[in-house]
Amino acid sequence: MPSTNQVILNAPLDMHLHLRDGEMLDNIVNGSAHTFSGAIIMPNLVPPVTTKEAVIAYKERIMHAIGDEKFTPYMTLFFKPSYDKAFLESVRDDITALKLYPAGITTNSEGGVSGFDVEELRPALSAMSELNLPLCVHGETNGFVMDREAEFVSIYEELAAAFPDLKIIMEHITTKESVAALDKFKNLYATITIHHLLITLDDVAGGMLQPHLFCKPIAKRPEDREALLKVALAAHPKVMFGSDSAPHPKHAKESCGCAAGVFTAPVALQLLTELFEKNDASLENLQAFVSGNAQHIYGVTPLSKTVTLEKKPFKIPSDYNGVVPMYANEEIAYSIQEVKNG
C-alpha cells in the first residue's frame, strides 16, 4: 500500500471476539461496535453459552449494550460432544458457529473437550457438517507452552479428514505449522490476530514482563510471525482477521497470576492499516483480510459501514473504561477519521 493520507475500509469484520458480559460488556462493546460491521462472539462466559436460551439471552444483552451502533453479533455456542442433531437443528438459526475448547486450556474453558476421540465427537460433528455449521477451534494441547499449537495440528488434520464437509476454523493461529496445514485440507481455515502479526515472545517476556501482551496461545518465534504475515498480507483466501480481543480488568492483568488476553478491538483497524502500509501490501488485500475473505468463508453479508482512517498520529489511550489496550500510551500512525453507517 503506498503511503497515503486516507484509507477507506468497507464493512470490517472481526471473526473472533470476546465481548464478555455485564459491566465489562457495557464498558468495552463500543470499541468493536463503532468501527466493525459485525463479529463472531465467543461463548466462554461463566457459565459458558451452551443452550438456545442462553444464546438468545446473551445476544439480547449485547444488542442492548450496543445501543445505536450498527453491528451484528454473530453468535456461537460452546461446543459439547453431547449435542445431538435435534438440538443443533433447533439452535441453527440463532448461531453462526460453534466453538470448541480443549478442557481447561484457557479462560473459562473448563467444560470443554478432553481427549480427542473422533468417534466420540462423530455424532455432533456430523450433524454440524450436515447443517453447515462451522467449527471454531482453540487448537492447543496441554503440552509444553511453546509447542501446544504445533502439537495440535495433527488433531486438526484428523478432524479435517474425518469430516471433509465440516468447515474447521483454526482460531488465532500463531505458528508456521498451522499456516502449512491450511493448504493441505480444503476444509481448514484460520483467523489471525493483529497482536500475533506484530509481536513475538520476545515482546512479551524478553525484557520486563508485559502482562498486556500475555495471551493464549502465547506469541511465538520470529519465523512463526513471518509465516503469519505472509498469508495475512497476501490475503490468502483461507485466512481472515479475528482480533481475539480479550478484555480483563486492569487488576487482573497487572497482578500475580496475570489473566491471558490482549485487548485490541478499539485499535485493531488502525494497527492493521499501519502494518499493511509498512509492509507495502495492497489496500485490496487489507480489505479482503478484514472483510471479504470472512464473507466468503462464513457466507455472511455484513451491514454496510464505511470506516475512513487518516494518516495522523494517534496516541492510544492509557485505558478504555478501565481496560488497558495493546500499546497503551504509544503513538501509532493511523487514526479513525470517520465512520459512516448504511
One-character DSSP codes across 199-244: --HHHHHTSS--GGG--SSPP--HHHHHHHHHHHHTT-TTEEE---
Q: What string marks each residue from 224 to 243 as x (binds ligand DOR by CB under 6 A) or -?
A: --------------------
Task: Check if 93 is active-site.
Answer: no
Cβ 105 to ligand DOR, closest distance in Å?
7
Sign of CA dihedral 254, 256, 258, 259: negative
Q: Interface with ligand DOR includes 106 (CB under 6 A)? A: yes
Cβ 248 to Zn ion, closest distance in Å?
12
Between 27 and 44, name the residue whose CB sits nearer to ligand DOR.
Answer: 44
One-character DSSP codes across 74-116: EEEEE--TT--HHHHHHHGGG-SEEEE-BTTSSTT-TTSB-S-
Compute φ and ψ for 305, nearest 5 degrees. Answer: -155, 135
Say which entry of Zn ion, ligand DOR, none residue 44 contacts (CB below 5 to 8 A, set by partner kind): ligand DOR
**Contact of 190 with 173, CB cutoff 8 Å:** yes
Cβ 198 to ligand DOR, closest distance in Å?
15
Between 44 and 285, name the residue whose CB sits nearer to Zn ion.
Answer: 44
CA–CA distance from 161 to each of 63, 188, 240, 249 (Å)?
A: 38, 10, 22, 41
Q: Interface with ligand DOR includes 215 (CB under 6 A)? A: yes
Compute φ and ψ for 71, nearest 5 degrees. Answer: -160, 135
Cβ 42 to ligand DOR, closest distance in Å?
6
Q: Interface with ligand DOR includes 253 (CB under 6 A)? A: no
Say which entry of Zn ion, ligand DOR, none residue 216 contacts (CB below 5 to 8 A, set by partner kind): ligand DOR
Which of 84, 244, 280, 319 does the annotation list as catalytic? Answer: 244
Active site residues: 244
Question: Footprint of ligand DOR on this chain (CB under 6 A)?
Answer: 18, 44, 106-107, 138, 215-216, 246, 260-261
